[in-house]
Structure 1
Amino acid sequence: MAGRPPGTNNTKRFAVELRRSKLAEGHNDKRSIPDQTVQLRLRRADSSRITRHEQLDKLVLLSFDDFRLRQDEPSGNGHVLFATARDSAEYIAKILKTGITLNNITYHFCGHSNSQQKSRSCFMYAASKAEIAAKIEGLRDFSKLKSGGKKVKRIGLLFSTADIAIELSPDRCEDIADIVYHDYTFTDGCGLISKQLAREVARKKHIVHRNMRYLPSVFQIRYRGYKGVLTLHPALLGKVQVQFRDSMKKFGDVKDHSFAVAEYSKPYNFGYLNDEIILLLHALGISSDTLLRKQTGYLNFLKNVSLCEPRTSFMFLCYQGEMELAERLLLEGPDSVRSTCGRLVRAEYTKMLNKREEQRCRIMIPKSRLLFGICDPFGKLKAGTCFVRITDDCDGVAKTIIGTEVLCTRHPTLQFKVVDCPELTHLVDFFVTWDPDIIPRRLAPAAEYPGVKEKAHFGMIAGDDQAEFFAKSNNTSLGRVKNLYLKWARIKGPLSEECQQLNRLFSQCVDGNRIRVPQALEDPSEASTETHPFILDILHASARAIIDIALEKDFDYEEDTYGVVDLLAHRNELAMSESELIQLVLRACSRLPVAKGTLSLIMNGLLRSELLTPGEVHKFRLHGANLHWKPVFQSSSDRMGRFLSSAARALQSFHKKLIILQPDERLILMIYIPQKIENASEVDVGEEVRVFALPRSSGTDSVNYRVTPTKKHYRLYCDDSTFQLYESKGSNTFVFLNRGQLDPSAFLNTKNESERRAKKQETFDTGVNAECRASVALNKISAPIQKHEIYVISNRDVESMRVLDAWLHFVDTEEVLPLFDREPSEYTVVTAADLDRSTLAPLVATVVIDRDTVAVRGAGGIDDVRQSLELLNEVGQKTQLLDACTEVLAMSMDGTCQIPGKEILLLLLDFLPIAPFLIETVLDSDLWKRDTAVVMDAAAEIFPVL
């Protein structure tokens, strides 16, 4: 259906044939007014707490995306002119207030979610305005809200698209206080959820990852009047399954108990550099060459995928989560997925260059993730540190990043030092990057983003008020502010004062708030041709050239085979877990006969040890498939400095542990410990511990291969720096491990942290220092430990022990920039004597410089009064300011004033926040008592601030 929207105030009427079957299948009507025609179509209804219980034929989703009202040109030559944005908004408001009639059923404005407000769409409901208001208020009493914008946002929570997971009784929930310090709420919007309830939600929502059940660590939820995120908290074991923070409660008394999930954390969610992040990184010192190299590398990767090069195509499909296609590529060859790979790559190109010729940077960073940012609910982290735990794309194992600094960005760009916090290891997935190439050495403080004051509304906020708020809110401010930001960034850089002001305005209008751009920021001059090339111009031009070549030319690619051996050889480049890799390889090898010992090779990690030979494992019958040995530390991949701390955590967490040491090329030692050892505690182990000696100078049949059990009075002590196995007292020690004494002369005088770490590691590699030393009373052998492994047997998850140690890739912060550039100057107090009389209006000069406050009565306009008051306050003449205010209030009542009383009161109300000592004078004046009603809205905004 199409037609020109009539320009009258009457209800808009349309007739069209609808099939009831479609409505019964979960579709509702959608009317779209994109330009001047009206389109009607059926679309599947999104689930929300408002719409899920309604008959769908009572709902119409009305969209005004890209709508601009047209007006015929008065000359009558057939040309059509677009109306102003204000006229278009007023037209939309008329439609929403009067309603639309479809097949003789009238629909009135009902509401919209916050995201629908940005996309310019809203729901109309087949009922009268009074019935709709009663339905909305029946869900919760919104009458106490005195701001139209706030009421719209609160009602918008009920319209938010979110799948209803479960019905959650309020008895299973409780409110807990926020953590607040110096008026800053650290726990804003961050609650807690038990593992039991999280599993129930994941099961009801059918949350799976690559056909396997997946338990997210963070849920973005909507429940009754609560909004925010919930993070896993294993300690919630009783009746209370959810703890909501006070800051999450937007309103109360909601009868609907449906627990809805809007979003949840996902693994392998790689981060991308966009225009805004690139501008900030470049301003903080990341070179154009580095950013260009990152972009070229990613675009070349996509080009190889579009050519269906097997290895890169397999990696890309794994990154995209297309595991069935990746398996088809492996089993059937590149031709089986060529068209799909081409389509996926073209979709990536479209995100960089769309049909409107709008270009933006999009560079995938493998060493990054898009994560949920939540507070530390346990107070374990120190200031300036963060806990980052990701699913590693190399082996699919959850790992904690440690030993370096990471870059976090949303609005501000922040750097944090990452630390390991065992209390947070249940949080598997939280733009964060640890790529040392793009972590800047310069640092600027985070910008401040002030909140927006909501305008108070006295009286009932009706549906028509909400409809008008929707009609007059638009996204043009976002684009306008962004364009101004890019212009100023091109001239002065993104750290300039102008760009930071525009950043604050952008953060305010992103939620639909109305803003006013200062005149000084409106019309920046063109950038000089003598300045350095703009970084975005460089990247955009390079990307366009590479994409154009990739789309226009048809490359000939020599067929390459990609088999199981290649898959295993490049497993560190694949975003899949070890389990997924093994399943894929097993299916690929299903036509081959099963070799003896295959199950043991899969289930028993000792058979893949880098220190033990298969014969040595068989010698002590440690090779069985029923022995599920799992590695938690291997010196080939883990830094030796973490050996003792990893040993202490493994001894405390698991019952059966096996520590494998190689003190010398001729000897292997294994220590078997079959009980838990509390950290930093002396524990009786009696006759339970076994020490295996495996001399490499003899064969596995040699009698020198022996097992030595401990005796009755043996004890064991272990912490982050010491491991000691001894009999009765410490002087009778069997095995002693501790951190080696360091000779710091080689790295003591280095100028920064990254160089110091590199020099320190060099002393370990050359043998000058040792990160761990050992003394072993076994045939009088005593030597520095060279290699170590720790294995455990456990049915529980050992992956919480794994870390991604970036200790050697630390990036120093070499310079801290001020928030704004300031030129140093001597501080002086401005007085009236410093003012230039020639630059002031005569009346203002008389009032301020000559201190004749009575002269203010001769003001011909409000500007003279305003300038007089501002200058009196600026030069510190508080007494004269009070006298001038008294004169202004008096002249407005005695008939000698040419300025309306309302204008005077509005001026004084605006002035009160910076001169609060005038409050009593203003409120006791006759002018205030006479004209209070006409300035009440402005007063309501001012007085809460005071």
Structure 2
Amino acid sequence: MYVLLENPPQDQESWNFTVPANHLALPRRRRNDGSIYGKFIKFTAQAITLEVLKFPSNRVLHSDDPEKFILVSFESLRFPESGLRATTDYINRMMKTGVFLNGTQYRFYHHSNSQLRSRTCFMREANNDQELDDRIYQMGDFGRIMNVAKRAKRIGLLFSAAELDVQLDPKRTTDIDDIENADTNFSDGCGLMAKRLAIQVSKAKCIIFRNRRYTPAVFQIRYLGYKGVLMMHPEMDKEGRYLAKFRKSMKKFTTVQDHSFSVVGYSKPYAFGRLNNDVIVLLSSLGVTDEKLVAKQKEYLDWIEEASRDWKKAVDLASCLDNYDLAERVLLHGLDDPHVSRDIRKVQMAEVSQFLKNDKPRARMIIHKSRLLYGVCDPFKILKEGQVHIRITARDGPTTPINGDVLVVRNPCLHPGDCLKLRAVHHPRLSHLVDCIVFASVAKPKHQSAPAMSSGGDLDGDKFFVCWDSDIVPPLVHQSYDYPPNKERPGGNVTRADLANHFASYNNVGLAKVVKLHQQWVRCSPKGAMSGECQELNALHSQAVDGARVRIPERLLTPPVPEGKYILETLAEAAEEYRIRFTQRGAIELDPRTISAEDLEDILVPIFRSKPNAISEYELFNMALALARQLSVNLYELKPYLAHLDLSALASHEKHAISTTLSLTPQEHRRLWNSLMTSDILTSRDLMQRQLDRPLSMQRLYSSKANSPATFFQYLRIASEQFTRKLLVLKTDDRFAVGIFIKGNIPWDEEPEVDDNVVVCSFMPQASDSMSVYRPCTVGYRLHCDDGNLQLYNKNRADTFVFISRPPRESGQEVVTSIALQKISGRVQKQLGRLNRAPVVAMEIHVISNRDRVAHELFDLYFEHVQTEQYISRFSRDLTSYTLKSVEKADWATNPQWLKDIFVPRHSEDVFKQLLSDLTIEQLEIVMTFALQHHADNELYWTFSTVVGLLPLPLDGIRSWIERHPPLVYVLLQAYPPTESASLPEPLVTLSASVLRAILRSANSLGMATLVALEKIAESISNLGTDQYIELLNLAALSIRPKTLVQEALILLHESRSATNAIDPASPYLHKHALAVAFDCAEEAADTCPCDDNGRPRKSKLCFPVQRLLSAEDDGHVKVYLRVDLNVSIRLHSHVRFQCVSNAENAFIDRAVLDGVVTKATRGELVVELFHPLPPEFAEMQWNIYDAGSLATARAMVDSLTKLWEERDSCCSIYETIVLPPPTDEQPDAAQVHDAEDEDLPGTEDMNASQIAAIKSCMAQLSLIWGPPGPSSCISLFSQ
């Protein structure tokens, strides 16, 4: 993409650009590839850009040189602080002046009708308008049309996207009359074609269905001046004279140029229909109950879910999304094929992603007993009024299963009469018309044709939703609207300037406003869409949809507030809940081999923005971290996603782990607690006065100090659409700043009522006392946000409270604001005077994650948690709760007064650290012990941070504390980050083993941060002694419970020792087998005591209730008392896991899980060495103990390895043969080895291949024979 001009001025008069030649070069056209590429210019208020894109195929481009064209788009052009008129004038000036690229002039040529709606048009090389008029009017007799809109529409047919498929000689075509009566045209836009022409076109387009050629019954076409559909008519093949017959209604203009027969679309099998918002609203108004609609949605969602398991549903899903190739592969290879399964998953994700449109949930469902079909007329007049003929493709071929009432409706539809209830019948003469709907060609006088009754449709390419599901066909029928055509205003001579102005002035603002009001009225009226207001708005909509300007009556502009939840909200909420659940599960099941780093944002954004019930914030971060590591993405790129996390739900050690993992700066680290604490605008006094200095879990999304002020409104849009809680802070000078607190979803470029969901607060740091009042808005307040404005006003814009805008470039300012200060308070206004279009010198946007959990959600989650964590055993017991210790409930009578002064009242970090500054190291130990015992996590980390900042560094104390509370190691690593050579800094070298133990012991709670930490100190791992390294391997295997995490940790430890292997040739043997033993231990633990992905033990038969748990005399050991009548499998050297089964009365916390190994075992009593620290309340908790396998064999193997390594030749005479690789000069020749293997052994004639292989193995220099006893013949040969 090449930027032609940044920030184009609104009054621009010249569009003359110089572009490097490489940005204008078009790809070469391939012989068999019909793709056309050309220059594309996009206009926005921020920039005019140029790039080369694929052009839509049309007849004009195929008959001309594409290099002479540019495609221009104004869809995103809207100047700030300006109305639509300013954009129209800008486009008109550009059309009049032209665009110059390297001296070549391009002028307005034309556009298709769809391009008109998307504000896109073609420009062509020309020096004046006459050149272009000459070219256009050679293609058709458009000059006879004196209405600007109609002429533009007719010329637009030449630019309609269509593939040029065959050349059709006009001599093989003819015109025929329409089927009509005095009141209606039954064949409007519908002609006939011979079967052989249909076959010829199908071959040209290579239409294949299920590996066979497929000939559609209906083609939507463009040919000469004709527009509409042609339906297959075998009678013409019998006549043998014409290939196509065009109705009078199909002829839009006359031309003799270009005989290409272009296909826009054609009928397809399995084109399932969908219920959208419009149809659901009408069905609800016509008596279809909410229960039936909800049931249909559930059936649809289940169908999507089962498509990954049921091949029939997979074929249907792929077919209805036009992915016929995938449907074929499902039939050929089945769902067991990994590529097919992956593609089905993509199709499912594509369908589910459509539940969200413009960041808003919507109701949308496929109905299986339905189709979206082209409409055609009955050429034989054999159908009666109110009848239709429908024959669809089924698995066993074309069938007519539909005989009865059917619902027929065309989109868009706002009137209840648009839903037609017709009678489907079968007639043999129409049996060749498959996958389309045939309407009757007769009607009583003054009756309209059926297509015209549904949203004013016709048969020139309209598709109709046809449904024969009895739950969806409505019981009520409403009289249809007559849909009168808009009046054409005849004019004089139509010039190219008139056509350009028609394009420039087109807008659909009126249409969008009508639709929005209809949505509001339908919700608040008991009659729904049948209310008078809705029917009036439908009439206005029918005018606006054709581009006519409409005036909405004042009485329709203020619909009342709806009461209760409407069916659309019910369906949309269910769809959104399903989308979130499906997206999260899809992320967990992602195969990294099928995705790339570029997909990371598309995968992570929906996951972070969702609100899962069964996954914690830190687990979500771990998912993102694991995915980034799999894709080899720099972890720095995860920082922007932190704003989506509910930081209040993170424990202190988790925040420190995140900070260390992502290498956050000190300021970023502080923002984990509250981004306002590091605000560039608000002072600590401001925060304290407004009580904003507490943990609010806010994240700074935007700062004008770090980001360009020009991007403020872009970030505002992100905050409005992606976050439901945000704070805008704007500073006008050193005396005044304002904060705007906004709650809820704020649609972009709309004017929703916000009522009391917006609060405005002033900040005046130089005032002698607090002059701030929180000024909440009241009922009737509205908030409008767009690309250049934010306006908060009361009912009408004349009563504006806050106005923020982007001023004209000439002002030299990026953003200005006007605020009605009297609405905040009279004192504020008196101090500052008037604030009108004042420059904003600094801006910030802070947001809160949408995943912030509320009390009732936690309560529900707790009950779900109990259900999944409760294990049934033979020995019942009454579960009791315990009280979590806290600072508030501390017994201060047993503690010194200075300690109470530090903790009561609770202080901010800065104040707390100031209080610690005068304490001795012994007193700091007391503070940390108290904080640990009373769950004062923040104070514990602040104190430890103070300790690690002391000089000289108290190594013994630090070693002791990271043993007592392992997550503290991340504070230590933050204070003393690893060097570039991946080793600990010099002050921590003696703590290497302790640091690594702490990292591994905290792995279960901190997840992927463990792997990052190990990678950062890989060199320190390499420098460890052999005994320390093996101890770490065993610790990782026995203490890390998540299966994937323990595997990656073991591999990281092993790979970090590569340098050691190079020093000693025997080292690879030791490391290889030590790793194998560790993996065996981890796998046995996973098999004996399986855990979920979060390391919590699953239901197991080897789970036993603990009677009491007490501290043992040895540090880190506990005594475990079991019932003596309990038959347990736990023995000496057993690996065990403890899990707490009681709940805290005063908090919601995860149940503790601890690992250990049994060092003493008697009946009813065990002594266990723990790998994890005990909670302070462990004696009051109730516990279960799990058998996780025996370590006796593993310990014997490790002892053998260690002894072999230490004593070497002295303990084993064949040490070198076992450990060291054979010398290169003693390697046997490959040919000799091969000959030896092929040599026949005497006495083995009656033996099988396995027995012979065993004999040959015995003849090797060193053999290990392992297995059941062999036959006597084998044993006798072994003895020889």
TM-score class, shorter-chain normalisation, is 0.5 to 0.7
2:29 counterpart of 1:44: no
In structure 1, what is the equivalent of residue 509 of structure 2? Answer: 476
Cα deviations across residues 693-737 of structure 1 (Å, max 9, x unaligned)?
xxxxxxxxxxxxxxxxxxxxxxxxxxxxxxxxxxxxxxxxxxxxx
Matching residue's letter, 1:279: V
Could you tell me how far apart the structure 1 residues matched to 2:54 and 2:586 are?
40
Q: Deviations over 1:746-771 (max 9, x none)?
A: xxxxxxxxxxxxxxxxxxxxxxxxxx
**Cα shift at 1:190:** 0.8
Equivalent position amino acid for 2:304 in 1: L
| CA shift in 2, pair 1:48/1:37, >3 Å | same
C-alpha separation between the residues in 1 aligned to 2:230 and 2:70? 33
Which aligned pairs between 1:147-186 and structure 2 lie closer than 5 A?
Answer: 147-186=147-186
- Residue 402 of structure 2 contacts residue 468 of structure 2 at CA under 8 Å; is this kept in 1? no
Q: What is the identity, as a one-letter code, of the residue corresponding to 1:274?
A: N
CA contact under 8 A between 1:228 and 1:248: conserved in structure 2? yes
Question: Is 1:501 paired with 2:507?
Answer: no
1:423 aligns with 2:429: yes
Say whether residues 1:438 and 2:472 are aligned partners: yes
Cα distance in 1 for residues equivalent to 2:481 and 2:92: 37
Question: Where does residue 550 of structure 2 map in the other structure?
Answer: 515
Structure 1 residue 30 displacement after superposition? 0.7
One of 291, 294, 301 as aligned partner of 1:292 = 294
Q: After superposition, what is the alpha-carbon deviation per residue over 1:593-641, rounded to whole angstroms, capped at 9, x for unaligned?
A: xxxxxxxxxxxxxxxxxxxxxxxxxxxxxxxxxxxxxxxxxxxxxxxxx
Q: Is 1:487–2:517 an aligned residue pair? A: no
Q: Distance in 1 between matches of 2:295 and 2:27?
A: 53
**In the superposition, relative to structure 1, how do residues 121 and 240 fare at CA in structure 2: closer, same or farther (>3 Å)?**
same
Q: Distance in 1 between matches of 2:588 and 2:167?
A: 57
- Correspondences of 1:272-287 after superposition (within 5 Å): 272-287=274-289
TM superposition shift of 1:470: 0.6
How many Å apart are 1:522 and its aligned residue? 2.3
Cα distance per residue 1:178-201 (max 9 Å; x no partner): 122232111111111111111111
**CA RMSD across the alignment:** 2.1
- Within the candidate set 536, 545, 560, 2:577 is matched to 545
SS in 2 for 1:436: coil
Question: How does 1:75-90 map onto structure 2 within 5 Å?
Answer: 81-90=80-89
Aligned to 2:453: none
Q: Which residue of 2 aligns with 1:341?
A: 344
Q: Would you say the 8 A contact 2:311–2:331 is kept in 1?
A: no
One-letter code aligned to 2:275: L
Q: Look up the SS of the partner of 1:152 in the other structure.
A: helix
Displacement of 1:310: 6.2
Q: Corresponding residue for 1:413? A: 419
Measured after TM superposition, the shift of residue 497 of structure 1 is 2.0
Does structure 1 residue 22 correspond to structure 2 residue 26?
Answer: yes
Contact 1:15 1:103 in 2 (8 A): yes
1:326 to 305, 327, 330: 330
Q: 1:272 to 1:426 in 2, by over 3 A?
A: same
Pick from 338, 353, 356 the counterpart of residue 356 of structure 2.
353
Once residues 133 and 555 of structure 1 are traced to their aligned partners in structure 2, the CA distance between those partners, rounded to angstroms, is 55
Amino acid at match of 2:481: A
Give the drift of 1:51.
Answer: 1.2
Distance 2:210 2:153 in 1: 36
Deviation >6 Å, runs of 4+: 554-557
Cα distance in 2 between the residues matched to 1:278 and 1:178: 35
Flag structure 1 segments of 5+ consecutive residues without an equivalent.
70-80, 558-946
In the TM superposition, residue 12 of structure 1 has moved relative to its aligned partner by: 0.5
Cα distance in 1 between the residues matched to 2:171 and 2:586: 64
Note the C-alpha offset of 1:323: 2.8
Q: Is the 8 A contact 1:207 1:214 kept in 2?
A: yes
Distance in 2 (CA, whole Å) between partners of 1:433 and 1:89 is 43
Equivalence for 1:886: none
Per the alignment, residue 65 of structure 1 pairs with 75
1:159–1:251 Cα change, 3 Å: same
Report the alpha carbon displacement of residue 45 of structure 1 after superposing the two structures with TM: 2.4
TM-score between both structures, scaled by the size of structure 2: 0.41
Please give the residue correspondences for 1:711-722 in structure 2 after superposition, counting only pairs within 5 Å.
none
Check conservation: 1:146, 1:457, Cα contact below 8 A: yes
Q: How many residues align?
A: 537
Q: How does 1:926-941 map to 2 (within 5 A)?
A: none
Return the offset for 1:518.
2.8
Amino acid at match of 1:265: S
2:193, 2:67 → 1: CA distance? Answer: 37
Alignment-mate amino acid for residue 62 of structure 1? V
- Find the partner of 1:524 among 551, 556, 559: 559
Structure 1 residue aligned with 2:719: none
Q: Answer whether contact 2:191 2:230 (CA < 8 A) is retained.
A: yes
1:468 aligned partner, one-letter code: N
Matches within 5 A, 1:915-934: none
1:401 shift after superposition: 3.5
Q: Is the 8 A contact 1:265 1:371 kept in 2?
A: yes
The TM-score normalised by the length of structure 1 is: 0.55
For 1:97-136, list aligned pairs within 5 A. Answer: 97-127=96-126, 128-136=128-136
Match status 1:33 vs 2:43: yes
Q: Which amino acid aligns with 1:541?
A: E
Give the Å deviation of 1:429: 1.2
Cα distance between partner residues in 1 of 2:248 and 2:423 = 29
Uncovered stretches (5+) of structure 2, i.e. residues with no partner: 30-35, 437-464, 590-1280
CA drift of 1:114 comes to 0.4
For 2:577, the aligned partner's letter is A
Structure 2: how far apart are the matches of 1:551 and 1:362?
17
Cα deviations by residue, 1:806-827 (Å, 9 ceiling, x for unpaired): xxxxxxxxxxxxxxxxxxxxxx
CA apart distance, 1:257 = 1.8
Are 1:463 and 2:496 an aligned pair? yes
Query: Are residues 1:449 and 2:480 paired?
Result: no
Q: For residues 422-474 of structure 1, what are the alpha-carbon distances to aligned partners after superposition, in whole Å with 9 as ceiling and x for unaligned?
A: 1111111111011111111111122221111122211x211111011011112
Instruction: Measure, in 1, the Cα distance between the counterparts of 2:315 and 2:111.
Output: 42
Tell me the amino acid that sits aligned with residue 461 of structure 1: V
1:551-593 Cα distance to aligned partner (Å, 9 max, x none) = 2246999xxxxxxxxxxxxxxxxxxxxxxxxxxxxxxxxxxxx
Letter in 2 for 1:494: A
C-alpha distance in 1 between matches for 2:260 and 2:310: 48
Does the CA contact (< 8 Å) of 2:173 and 2:246 recur in 1? Answer: yes
User: C-alpha distance in 1, partners of 2:378/2:314?
Assistant: 39
Q: Aligned letter for 2:542?
A: S
Q: Distance in 1 between matches of 2:220 and 2:274?
A: 22
SS of structure 2 residue aligned to 1:220: strand
1:187 equivalent in alignment to 2:187? yes
Pick closer, same or farther for the CA change 1:145–1:336 going to 2, 3 Å.
closer
| 1:394-441, Cα deviation, whole Å (9 max, x unpaired) | x24111244311110114110111111111111111110111111111
Contact 1:389 / 1:401 at 8 angstroms: preserved in 2? yes
- Taking the aligned partners of 1:433 and 1:371, their CA distance within structure 2 comes to 10
Counterpart-to-counterpart distance in 2, 1:466 and 1:36:
27
Q: Go from structure 1 to structure 2 and tell me whether the alpha carbon gap of 1:7 and 1:370 turns closer, same or farther (over 3 Å shift).
A: same
* Compared CA separation, residues 97 and 183, structure 1 to 2 (3 A): farther
Structure of higher CA gyration radius: 2
Matched residues in 2 for 1:406 and 1:309: separation? Answer: 29
Is the contact between residue 48 and residue 163 of structure 1 (CA under 8 Å) also seen in structure 2?
A: yes
Matched residue type, 1:96: M
Q: Distance in 2 between matches of 1:554 and 1:270?
A: 25
Shift of the 335–539 alpha-carbon distance from structure 1 to 2, 3 Å rule, reads same
Distance 1:96 1:24 in 2: 30
The change in CA–CA distance for 1:8 and 1:193 in structure 2 (over 3 A counts) is same
Aligned letter for 1:490? R
Does 2:217 align with 1:217? yes
Q: Cα–Cα, structure 1 residues 126 and 273, in superposed 2: closer, same or farther, change >3 Å?
A: same
Find the counterpart in structure 1 of residue 566 from structure 2: 534
